[in-house]
Amino acid sequence: MATIRLGDEAPNFTAQTSEGEINFHKWLGDSWGILFSHPADYTPVCTTELGTVAKYTEEFNKRNVKVMALSVDGVESHHGWIKDINETQNTTVNFPIIADEDGKVSELYDMIHPNADSKLTVRSVFVIGNDKKVKLIITYPASTGRNFDELLRVIDSLQLTAYHKVATPANWKHGEDVVISPAISTADAKNIFTKGVNEIKPYLRMTPQPNLD
């Protein structure tokens, strides 16, 4: 069984999906990605999750993020389920759902946890950068639906910290002050972060979010 850790290259695969055969890395291109698994089609929590993701399309597009779901059911089942999702969640599913009937992708990404269920995937989430590296891994039990506002918040943090020498504090949201990297001296920080440096402690310096006008 594969073990994927932060910083690893996201394993590539070719799979049948609700939008045809897709090679994962080619499909990602230069975009960031979210790969997330579902226990099964026609299940209540999953139905609300996929509906929510469809409603968040504009937010994902703003962040250059592509979304791909996975279930162990087949393509025909997916198409029927998508109709239900669109009807009950008042939206249009516009992202591919992998038909992982043979479990190859589930095994590749360690999405089946036998002590939870021997056949169905748990609610795994992988955020993948535009360098194809795994940036975030979260695993939820089947009984708990995911918080996609939190995933957007994390992606904002990941994209900010990828290009600026900062980190984001607890409960940070886009637009709030950020933490200056400990590797930067306060003197250098004052030259780099021209919006100001608030030195609370020598190791705890704050600055306004640098990528905002």
Q: Are strands 97-99 and 123-128 parallel, antiparallel or unpaired?
A: unpaired
Which phi and psi angles does 163 have, rounded to 5°? -115, -5
CA distance 133 to 153: 19
Name every residue whose Cβ is closer than 8 Å to that of residue 185 and which is 6 or more positions away in sequence: none
The answer to whether the beta carbons of residues 74 and 15 sit under 8 Å apart is no
CA atoms lying within 13 Å on the CB side of residue 109: 32
3-state secondary structure of 81: helix
How far apart CA 171 and CA 19 sit, in angstroms, is 36
* First-last CA distance in the chain: 46
- Strands 178-180 vs 204-207: parallel, antiparallel or unpaired: antiparallel
| Residues with a known catalytic role | 46
| Tokens at 34, concatenated | 């979210």
